[in-house]
Amino acid sequence: MHDHTVSDWFALRGKNAFVTGASSGLGARFATVLAEQGCRLVLAARRMDRLQALSEHLRDKGTEVHCLSMDVRSLDSIQAAVKEAQSLAGPIDILVNNSGVSTTQRLTEVSEADYDFVFDTNTRGAFFVAQAVARSMIERAKQAADFEAMPASKIINIASMAGLEVLSMIGVYCMSKAAVVHMTRAMALEWGRYNINVNAICPGYILTEINQAHFESDAGQKLISRLPRRRIGKPEDLDAVLLMLASGRSGFVNGAVISADDGPT
């Protein structure tokens, strides 16, 4: 009984959510949480095998899920995927824009390939995914008689605490995520009139399979000991922020950049 009350409160049942970078880590968690609230999902990533496993798990629980391959470094791939997402599920109500990569080295050692690898995915890729989805959201909005009649559309960009505060050895990643923070505000400013809310979540140190080995190492343990609460987060620590921003109840929250980092910034 309790679950239904929660689902109805967020009013997400039947909404179409498009989640990028959904094959692992935070993306997989975001997909799972939206599924629990009754969303219809389209999941995109480069690793289709991982996506299929997640979608089978969600389908077993009664969620309608579609999977598609998308490489955010290719504009053609993005545009084809967004088009396919809409033909599979219908108009996109919620975009969780979540692809992200990093390299670890001193700035003097960053090669052109390293720089492009990070920026092409985290900044350029995130921008063109949001642009492609927003174009269709704007088309829908223009068909409405007035602002009140426009569908409430949501774009949630996943930035990082590294976009707000510089961390050593991942300077280019920090730069790329700072761009995502400003990108969020620019999009909120231009697209608000179409009843599109664009907000960013800036997660702190969160344990995923990608960084598990690092956090278990001596350097990782030393880092944890310097954090205000001497702990790292779990992907589910972002659930409430994600649901708030996806929900129609946060219609007045636009251009917000929300830290979920347990306090270090």
What pLDDT, in 10s, does the model give residues 187-225? 999 999 999 999 999 999 999 887 888 899 998 999 999
Q: Alpha-carbon distance 190 to 180, whole Å?
A: 15
Task: Give the mean pLDDT of 9-28.
Answer: 94
Q: What are the distances in angstroms from CA 93 to CA 45, 96, 150, 261?
A: 19, 10, 11, 27
How far apart, in whole angstroms, are the C-alpha atoms of residue 209 and residue 211?
6
Residue 38 covered by a domain? yes
> Is 231 among the domain residues?
yes
Structure tokens at 66: 């579609």
Is residue 151 within 8 A of residue 172, CB to CB? The reply is no
> Does residue 225 lie within any of the structural domains?
yes
- 264 belongs to a structural domain: no
- Please give, one letter per residue, the 3-state secondary structure of 180-210: HHHHHHHHHHHHHHHCEEEEEEEECCECCCC
Q: Is residue 94 part of a domain?
A: yes
pLDDT of residue 208: 87
- pLDDT for 47 equals 87
Domain of residue 229 covers 2-259
pLDDT tens figures, 90-138 = 999 999 999 899 999 999 999 999 999 999 999 999 999 999 999 999 9
Q: pLDDT (tens digit, 9 = 90+) per residue, 145-164?
A: 999 999 999 999 999 999 99
Query: Rounded CA gap, 92 and 39, in Å?
Result: 11
d(CA 259, CA 185): 15
Which pLDDT score, from 0 to 100, does residue 1 have? Answer: 45
Q: Which residues are catalytically annotated?
A: 173
Question: Apex CA 90: angle with CA 86 and CA 93, to 5°?
Answer: 90
- Listed in sequence order, the DSSP H helices in 111-233 are 112-119, 126-142, 171-191, 212-216, 218-226
What CATH number corresponds to the domain at position 218?
3.40.50.720
Q: Based on the structure, what is the number of domains in the chain? A: 1
Q: Would you say residue 240 lies in a domain?
A: yes
Q: How much is the pLDDT for 265?
A: 85
**Is the residue at 265 inside a domain?**
no
Amino acid 3: pLDDT? 53
